[in-house]
Amino acid sequence: MIRVKSLSKDYGSRRAVDQISFSAAKGEILGFLGPNGAGKTTTMRMLTGYMPPTSGTAEIGGFDVVENSLEVRKLVGYMPESVPLYNEMTLMEYLTYMGEFHNIPDLDDRVDEVLEKVHLDNRAGGYVGNLSKGMRQRLGLAQAILHRPEVLILDEPTIGLDPAQIIEVRNLIREIGKEHTVMLSTHILTEVQQVCNRVIIINKGHIVAEDTPSGLQARLTGADRVNIKIKGEASELLPLITPLPGVMNVEAKKENELEVSMSAGQDIRPEIARLIVKNGFDLLEMQAASLSLEDIFMQLTQDEPARPSLDGTVDA
């Protein structure tokens, strides 16, 4: 449904998005995760046809966002970061007004339908200005799905909401995701874990990782770090484990506990376990130190010298 190839955007001499490529299939909820200024909004604006790319291409449903922007707008529902809503209109008036741009034939029925979908049907005659922030966000979603788009692009849909409102909006997105392809941007890690089935991590205009939330975690968790608990003096094991191929560092954490860091992709837990037992120690526990998505995100986006990226190439 969404296909992006080498898409770039320059603001003057500043490159905000740098040759990104990705795609999203029908029925996917794709999370676009990145810190402030990463290029999320810029990418979404290009995808919705609101801003031309400097180079590269983006297609929605086979239509080029520049050459077929009218078709693209029919196919896409967009909820910008701050949804412009008209406070002096009732919810029904607002949605009817927005729906007129799209020539929706059964507009009155459709307005009732979407208000029900976002659980605002009981506020239909009330003023937009009287809505809470969470309700406004839900109205923004109603506006985005009004013309039955196949693709929904949501820019930071839960920003500024309180925890209860966040849960409501996330549930709604999951529900909407059953019928639409959804791409949402966020800087909240738990959001992609809870809502999305695939995640793209973007930093400084570059895609630094792409996977399922659990796959991403698994790739980095693997057994990069293992916590080991033994019966006996952990310090005695240090000189034995350190020379093992694939071991980067060994540290005694407590008297009988140590942490072994291994080179990425080299799971040498069996060798370590054999070595411990062979040397007469009882192995009480061996646990891969699980990285949270937050750790992964920090690893992928922090400024540091060249390091291997997830696909094994070297990132500058």
Ligand X SMILES: Nc1ncnc2c1ncn2[C@@H]1O[C@H](COP(=O)(O)OP(=O)(O)OP(=O)(O)O)[C@@H](O)[C@H]1O
Provide the binding-site residues for ligand X, judged by CB under 6 A: 11, 14, 16, 34, 36-42
| Least distance CB 9 / ligand X (angstroms) | 8
| Least distance CB 42 / ligand X (angstroms) | 3
| Least distance CB 205 / ligand X (angstroms) | 7
C-alpha to C-alpha distances, 47 to 152, 186, 255, nearest whole angstrom: 11, 16, 56
| Least distance CB 55 / ligand X (angstroms) | 16
Residue 315, phi then psi, degrees to nearest 5: -90, 140
Of residues 38 and 200, the one with the C-beta less far from ligand X: 38
Q: What is the DSSP letter of 119?
A: T
| Least distance CB 64 / ligand X (angstroms) | 21
Pairing state between β 181-186 and 29-33: parallel
Of residues 217 and 301, the one with the C-beta less far from ligand X: 301
Angle made by CA atoms 185, 187, 188, in degrees to the nearest 5: 105
Of residues 39 and 77, the one with the C-beta less far from ligand X: 39
3-state class (DSSP) for residue 84: coil
Q: What is the DSSP letter of 42?
A: H
Cite the DSSP H helix spans in the chain. 40-47, 69-75, 91-100, 107-117, 133-145, 163-177, 189-195, 213-221, 234-241, 269-278, 293-301
